[in-house]
Amino acid sequence: MTIPAPVLEHVFDARILVAVPYEVGPTVAGARRVIAITGGTVTGPGLTGRVLPGGADYQTIAADGLTRLHARYVIEAGDGARIYVENTGLRFGPPEALERLRRGEPVDPGLIYFRTAPQFETACPRLAWMQTSLFLATGARAPDHVALSVYRVG
């Protein structure tokens, strides 16, 4: 029996606008910070719309620089349907590049490993397929936004 290898199907790209991080500081779990999501856009073959303001990215940064991300926000599709997003992932790279990111400076995305696994919930029957598949995303952090390319694992 041959089990087919997974394939990735591009669903959308998102440009998620973010505010200046709130630094909580070092805790027993690592350095904590919270970054408010202020809006954004979603464009692609599987979904278009906008990111609604009001979400946030909750981060834990380990001593070696590994950042664990947990973002929660809402996308409003072009027809008004709403999708709740819970996106968990990792960001890691060379210490000097990570420090520039923390200071809000531009960094070449090729230097940073930034991958997430978004999950979606919606009441819209047309978008119910988003709840029955796994997704992976690649990301890049800019001073004022996060760019994500989201793929359905087929």
pLDDT band at 73 (very low <50, low <70, confident <90, very high): very high
Residue type, 93: G
Asked whether residue 61 carries a pLDDT value surpassing 90, the answer given is yes
Q: Measuring CA to CA, which residue among 82, 74, 83, 79 is closest to residue 56?
A: 74
Average pLDDT value for residue range 104-128:
95
Render the burial of 109-146: b for 16+ CB within 10 Å, e for the rest: beebebebebebebeeeebeebeeeebbbbbbbbeebb
Is 2 a domain residue? no
CATH number at residue 64: 2.40.160.20
pLDDT band at 143 (very low <50, low <70, confident <90, very high): confident
Per-residue pLDDT tens for 9-35? 999 999 999 999 999 999 999 999 999
Give me the mean pLDDT over the 75-85 stretch. Answer: 98
DSSP one-letter code for 64: T
pTM of the predicted model as reported, rounded to 2 decimal places: 0.93
For the cut 90, the answer to whether the pLDDT of residue 96 exceeds it is yes
pLDDT band at 99 (very low <50, low <70, confident <90, very high): confident
pLDDT of residue 78: 96
Six token digits for residue 135: 């997704």
Calculate what percentage of the chain has a pLDDT beyond 90.
Answer: 93
Residue 36 counted as domain residue? yes
Residue 1 within any structural domain of the chain:
no
d(CA 154, CA 152): 6
Assess whether pLDDT exceeds 90 at residue 124: yes
Residue 154 to residue 151: CA distance in whole angstroms? 9
Number of domains in the chain: 1
Assigned domain for 124 exists: yes
* Average pLDDT, rounded, for the chain: 96
pLDDT for 52:
98
Q: What is the pLDDT of residue 101?
A: 86
Phi, psi of 99 (to 5 degrees): -65, -40
Range of the domain at 54: 8-153
Q: Give the whole-angstrom CA distance, residue 115 versus residue 107.
A: 16
Is 94 within a domain?
A: yes
Q: DSSP states of 106-147 as a string?
A: ---GGG-EEEEEEEEEES-GGGGGGGSSEEEEEEEE-SSEEE
